[in-house]
Amino acid sequence: MLFVLQIEAGGLAVRIGVYFCNCGTNISEKIDCAEVKRLAESMPGFAYIKSVEFLCSEAGATAMESDIRENRPDRVVVAACSVRDHEETFRGVSSRAGLNPYLMQMVNIREHIAWVTEDHHRATQKAASYIKAAMARVKLHEHLERELIDICPDVLVIGAGPAGLKAALALAEAGRKVCLVEKGPVLGGMPVKYEEVFPKMECGPCLLEPVLGEAMHGPHAGNLEILTLAEVTEVVGYYGNFTATIRQEPRYISHELCIACAECIAPCPAASKNPFNFGLNEKKAIDFPFLGALPNLPFIDPQSCLRMAGKDDCHLCRDACAVEGAVNLGDEAKSAARQVGAIVVSTGAGGYDCSKLPNLGYGVLRDVYNSLEFERILAASGPTAGALVKADGQPPRRIAIIHCVGSLDRDHVGYCSGVCCSNAFKFNNLIAHKVPHAEVTHFFKEIALAGKEEFTLYEKARSRNSTRMVRFDDIRQLNVSSGGNSSLTVTRERPNGRPKQTDFDMIVLCQALIPSHGTAAVARLLELDVDEHGFLEELHGRMDSARSKVRGIYFAGTCQGPMDIQKAVNEGLAAAGYVLAGLVPGRQLAIEPVVAVVDASRCSGCRSCMTVCPYKAITFDTTADAAAVNRVLCLGCGTCVAACPNAAIKGNHFTNEQIYAEIEQVLS
Amino acid sequence: MSTQTVALNPVDAARADFEPKIVGFLCNWCSYAGADKAGTSQLKYPPNVCVLRVMCTGRIDPQFVLKAFEQGADGVVILGCHPGDCHYKEQNYRAIQRHRILLRVLRQLGIEEERCRFDFVSAAEGEAFARIMSEMTGVIKRMGPLNRAAAEGTR
């Protein structure tokens, strides 16, 4: 008997107060509140209905607040305007009046009824049915709380190109501890290897050196931990509370002790092709990646070092070193864990493999280079010390620059990288500077030069008599072959059926930008979605392009698509902005309670929910043998709730029972 | 087109007084906002569709639709974001898939496919929302009440 009484107290005896907003006359001239009361008052739990002129006004909200205090309803229904306009307003009023904000249900009788229904009588009836449905629903509402969790405001930045560097610097300047992880031995990404960058022909290293200097020695460098030759191997946790494990390969050279005198390099007996110059020259096993690379200290490549490869007990570098302990041949790989609240991914892009277009002769014919290799040939820090020469050491007289290599071609990458044309005209200008009488022919499919500055290099190139422009429809119409006398021949098929042959002595292929290997690896590690091209997929391509779909993970730079330095840097700063706005030291993170909740006892372990969740919010808890929803990551869409074949997942605030109650009432 | 002048059809004439009950499941972000837009534009449409809000069409369990038919609905309309516009990335595609399967179930129960419409309404498409409300009401009016024997099968 006592049990029955308790059920009544918790269920049937619920008292619901209804607040009816007249909205001036916007609602009341179409919907009759007195008639609504007559139709709704027989509903179980109905306590009262009160009409207010403007419920959202300060006077209206204050009146509602004191009325709730006075009448102490268990639940409240607000019949007014759109939920999208004022749900937060009335949740706030309820909360201030001492009622859990999730025990308030709003119905939209203005936009959805009063303003769109001709007939007064039917409008009133419809409003009454909406209010009754809300009453039936709100009775089943649960007391929900916004959970507050502690956060770590520190940040992990993966990739030290321009985007990652700018993100890291901004965050460090704001006082955040930043761990900047770079896979290679050198910072600065792609542009530090460029002689000059478009559109203003600024020197690439000069552009980046101040940024790198600030990162290493600037006023906020103390907040920045830079780990080169390092990779993130594991990330666990979620927004506000990630733990990242980082593995750092040995450099064998001490950051603290090395004075970069380079004495160790000459005695080294081992050399191999220098990957930082794309194999266009050699470097010693102990060497700088390239001239001017920062941090300014050499590293030992264990692949080519005789000692590391176990071929010899060589220690000539250590013997030559002027500083005791600067060369540490016993250096070992280290693994470290870092606590961070957010992660910025800036792992960059790579170039499309030009050998996939065999008609262009790349990788087979001498003096056919891709654009990254050509950048190094032009660069003062490159294999030819900036001299533009062919493989035979002679300057080229006729150069072909082929645009759109792999781009705008469904058999290759489909998209336009948007930066190669600007780069190609930059090449034209650099060639004119280095070999003044060289003829340059641009073979192109399309020319893309959007932006307020990008056309200037094109104009300059076109103004030269030595520049020729040749358009092709399909890159398959071009065929590069070896001519006599160390020359190269480009044969172009033409619509008239008579192929045109032109001789060159150097060919530069402007290949598409594609996701780097590092980007693919980080996507796998962090379980990030990638688009059809393999670039990291943003939360929203326009409105939220620096955010991933996983809360707390942000993107910057070419890991998410081809872009120029300006945009990459801005993305880095955008990512920093998101972190600074979302994770504030000393402030807890508020977690919305309108999320999915798994009843482990009903979960059969089919994992259907995990495949449909767009936010990677669901994991499988092997201990409980059930799916588990992370409240921080879940955004409450409810798809998993509908997908669960066992009804083991509840969608808070949108439970099946609540929705069924609504359906029943609107149809009664 | 005279073939579509329904008033001439005696069966339809008999149904002229019939006011169908239709349940509309709307996603919060696009379609509910589209309904708001119809309201702020003061577009008039028949009041037959009762709107239920969910955060995403992906939340719509096919059982909600069956429940609506069981409880007396003559029609159901599900409105979500346009493909590619889903606030939750791609959950509207899940809803489309579920709707397609649901139509086959409804057919087996003897419930005509036209009684369960899936469509897209963006936050800007107040006119589309009002048009769909009018169309749906018109279609169900012409079809007449749901065959209740069929609806029994939804239990």
Nearest to A82 among B36, B54, B64 (CB): B36
Structure confidence by residue, pLDDT tens digits, B114-146: 999 999 999 999 999 999 999 999 999 999 999
Q: Degrees (nearest 5) of the Cα angle B123, B128, B134?
A: 130
Q: Residue A379: helix, strand or coil by DSSP?
A: coil
Output the pLDDT for position A3: 40
Is residue A191 reached through a cis peptide bond, with omega within 30 degrees of 0 on the bond before it?
A: no
SS (H, E, C) A78-107: EEECCHHHHHHHHHHHHHHCCCCHHHEEEE
Cα gap A349→A518, rounded to integer Å: 8
Cβ contacts (< 8 Å) between B36 and chain A: which residues? Answer: 82, 84-85, 108, 111-112
Alpha-carbon separation of residue B31 from A88, B25, B28, B120, B123 (angstroms): 20, 9, 7, 7, 6
* pLDDT over 60 (residue A4): no
Nearest to B59 among A111, A123, A638 (CB): A638
Cα gap A43→A134, rounded to integer Å: 11
Residue A633, C-beta contacts closer than 8 angstroms, at least 6 positions apart: A238, A239, A550, A551, A615, A616, A617
Confidence of residue A458 (pLDDT cuts 50, 70, 90): very high
Structure confidence by residue, pLDDT tens digits, A256-277: 999 999 999 999 999 999 999 9
Nearest to A614 among B23, B67, B89 (CB): B89
Cα gap B120→A37, rounded to integer Å: 35
Output the pLDDT for position A2: 38
Output the pLDDT for position B130: 98
Pick from A169, A157, A167: nearest CA to A210: A169
User: Phi and psi at residue A49, in whole multiples of 5°?
Assistant: -130, 135
Output the pLDDT for position B11: 54
Cα gap A425→A342, rounded to integer Å: 39
DSSP code at position A505: S
Chain B residue nearest residue A27, CA to CA: B39
Cβ of A663 within 8 Å of Cβ of B68? The answer is: yes
Contact A384, A274 (CB under 8 A): no
Alpha-helix residue ranges (DSSP H) falling in A270-322: 316-320
- Residues B90-115 have a mean pLDDT of 95
Cβ contacts (< 8 Å) between B33 and chain A: which residues? Answer: 84
Cβ of A129 within 8 Å of Cβ of B50? The answer is: yes
Cα gap A571→A546, rounded to integer Å: 6
* pLDDT over 60 (residue B13): no
Output the pLDDT for position A1: 33
Between positions 24 and 43 of B, the ones with CB within 8 A of A are 28, 32-33, 35-36, 38-40, 42-43
Structure confidence by residue, pLDDT tens digits, A500-520: 999 999 999 999 999 999 999
Output the pLDDT for position A552: 95
Confidence of residue A667 (pLDDT cuts 50, 70, 90): very high
Output the pLDDT for position B147: 86
Considering chain A, what is the average pLDDT of its residues?
94
Confidence of residue A152 (pLDDT cuts 50, 70, 90): very high
Mutation target vs A (from B21, B40, B61; most A CBs, 10 A cutoff): B61
Cα gap A151→A356, rounded to integer Å: 47
Nearest to B47 among A113, A664, A668 (CB): A113
Residue A296 to chain B, least CA–CA distance (Å):
45
Cα gap A27→A663, rounded to integer Å: 24
Output the pLDDT for position A12: 53
* pLDDT over 50 (residue A368): yes
Q: Write down the ipTM of this complex.
A: 0.92
- Residues A137-164 have a mean pLDDT of 96
Nearest to B54 among A82, A638, A667 (CB): A638
- Residues A150-165 have a mean pLDDT of 97
Output the pLDDT for position A540: 86
* pLDDT over 60 (residue A452): yes
Output the pLDDT for position A201: 92
Output the pLDDT for position A419: 96
Q: Residue A159: helix, strand or coil by DSSP?
A: coil
Cα gap A54→A78, rounded to integer Å: 12
Phi-psi region of A24 (alpha: psi -120 to 50; beta: other; left: phi over 0): left
Cβ of A614 within 8 Å of Cβ of B98? The answer is: no
Residue B110, C-beta contacts closer than 8 angstroms, at least 6 positions apart: B147, B149, B150, B153
Output the pLDDT for position A574: 98
Chain B residue nearest residue A82, CA to CA: B36
Tokens matching residue A277: 């110059």
Output the pLDDT for position B4: 45
Cβ of B52 within 8 Å of Cβ of A662? The answer is: yes
Cα gap A404→A415, rounded to integer Å: 10
Task: Please state which of the ranges A452-466, B14-28, B63-77 shows the lowest mean pLDDT.
Answer: B14-28
Cβ contacts (< 8 Å) between A612 and chain B: which residues? Answer: 58, 91, 94
Cβ of A641 within 8 Å of Cβ of B45? The answer is: no
Q: Degrees (nearest 5) of the Cα angle B25, A121, B47?
A: 25
Output the pLDDT for position A485: 74
Q: What percent of chain A has pLDDT over 70?
A: 98
Q: Is B130 on the interface with A (CB under 8 A)?
A: yes
Between positions 110 and 129 of B, the ones with CB within 8 A of A are none
Output the pLDDT for position A23: 97
Cβ of A639 within 8 Å of Cβ of B91? The answer is: yes
Pick from B78, B112, B115, B70: nearest CA to B97: B78
Output the pLDDT for position B117: 98
Alpha-carbon separation of residue A472 from A384, A423, A444 (angstroms): 32, 19, 6
Structure confidence by residue, pLDDT tens digits, A28-87: 999 999 999 999 999 999 999 999 999 999 999 999 999 999 999 999 999 999 999 999
Q: How many Cβ atoms sit within 10 Å of the Cβ of residue A517?
A: 12
Cβ of A126 within 8 Å of Cβ of B50? The answer is: yes
Cα gap A172→A154, rounded to integer Å: 9
A486 or A56: which leads in pLDDT: A56
* pLDDT over 90 (residue A297): yes
Tokens matching residue A131: 């209010």
* pLDDT over 90 (residue A10): no
Structure confidence by residue, pLDDT tens digits, A404-429: 999 999 999 999 999 999 999 999 99
Output the pLDDT for position A13: 81
Cα gap A306→A317, rounded to integer Å: 12
- Residues A605-618 have a mean pLDDT of 94
Cα gap A324→A257, rounded to integer Å: 8
Is residue A645 reached through a cis peptide bond, with omega within 30 degrees of 0 on the bond before it?
A: no
pTM for the model = 0.80
Alpha-carbon separation of residue A623 from A13, A242, A605, A620, B47 (angstroms): 41, 21, 12, 9, 52
Q: How many Cβ atoms sit within 10 Å of the Cβ of residue A330?
A: 6
Quick one: which H or E segment has residue A47? strand A46-52
Contact A376, A280 (CB under 8 A): yes
Nearest to A639 among B50, B56, B72 (CB): B56
* pLDDT over 90 (residue A6): no
* pLDDT over 50 (residue A398): yes
* Number of CB pairs, chain A paired with chain B, less than 8 A apart: 121
Contact B22, B50 (CB under 8 A): yes
Q: How many Cβ atoms sit within 10 Å of the Cβ of residue A623?
A: 7
Cβ contacts (< 8 Å) between A666 and chain B: which residues? Answer: 21, 23, 50, 52
DSSP code at position B21: -
Contact A585, A638 (CB under 8 A): no
Output the pLDDT for position A571: 97
